[in-house]
Amino acid sequence: MSLDAEYFADLYARNEDPWAFRTRWYEKRKRDLVMASLPRQCYERIFEPACANGELSALLAERCAGLLCQDLDQTAVELTRARLADAPHASAEQARLPGDWPGGSFDLIVLSEVGYYLDARAWRQVIEQSVASLSYDGGLLACHWLHPIAGCPQDGREVHARLAEYLPLYRVFRHEEADFLLEYWSCQPSVVDLDETCL
């Protein structure tokens, strides 16, 4: 079973930054690696479910024409909206995976630190929805903590194993450290665009 909304509400009730995204060097370095690993300079439309308090969202907003963020927790959504106040092309809304998947297509979907909160069935549905929502040359980035998390139905290795099993995409890269795994898949075998200019 996937974790319910109360789990996250309790976290945010105690701390607006429950995972120390704003203050830990580990988190800042990981965000920098995520952004540096994106093979395209600019994206047309990015989807980031489970945006938490918007630290990664603010960086993604600098690399796209449109950004949609979602989170299950309303406090997280409000924090993300505040973080994106200077980015009118970015929005955040309350939604639950996998049921509240947005319409339209995206050329980048970012699944960061979210998979292990979902059970295997819900995670497979997210994977299938991601594939169906990617543009013809779209990409999917996933990044997850590899150590066990108490109460979560999956761990990071299981999350990425299911991505490898169910994604009918080309894996562009895999970066693994002792603490996390970062991977990027593309609908096309090459993501190099020699004529690319930033939006």
Confirm or reject CATH 3.40.50.150 for domain 5-186, answering yes or no.
Answer: yes
The Cα–Cα gap between 117 and 4 comes to 9
> Cα(123)–Cα(18) distance, rounded to whole angstroms?
23
Q: Which tokens belong to 143?
A: 């990044």
Residues 20-42: tens digit of each pLDDT: 667 789 889 999 999 999 999 99
pLDDT in tens, 104-140: 999 999 999 999 989 999 999 999 999 999 999 999 9
Residue 57, both tokens: 């969202």
* pLDDT number for residue 1: 38
What's residue 140's pLDDT? 98
Contact by Cβ (8 Å): 48, 111 = no
14 or 114, greater pLDDT: 114
pLDDT of residue 9: 59
Banded pLDDT at 184 (limits 50, 70, 90) = very high
From the list 51, 85, 100, 98, the residue with the least C-alpha distance to 71 is 51
Q: What is the DSSP letter of 117?
A: G
Q: Domain spans of the chain?
A: 5-186
Q: Which of 86-90, 146-150, 153-157 has the highest mean pLDDT?
A: 86-90
Instruction: For residues 176 and 145, give the distance between their C-alpha atoms in angstroms, rounded to a whole number.
Output: 10
The model's pTM: 0.89
Q: Which helix (H) or strand (E) holds 107?
A: strand 106-112
Q: What is the pLDDT of residue 191?
A: 75
Q: Which residues contact 158 (CB under 8 A, 6 or more apart)?
A: 116, 120
Compute the distance between CA of residue 49 and CA of residue 44 in angstroms, rounded to an integer. 17
Residue type, 141: L
Using 50, 70 and 90 to split pLDDT, how confident is the model at 163? Answer: very high
Whether the CB-CB separation of 113 and 142 falls below 8 Å is answered with no
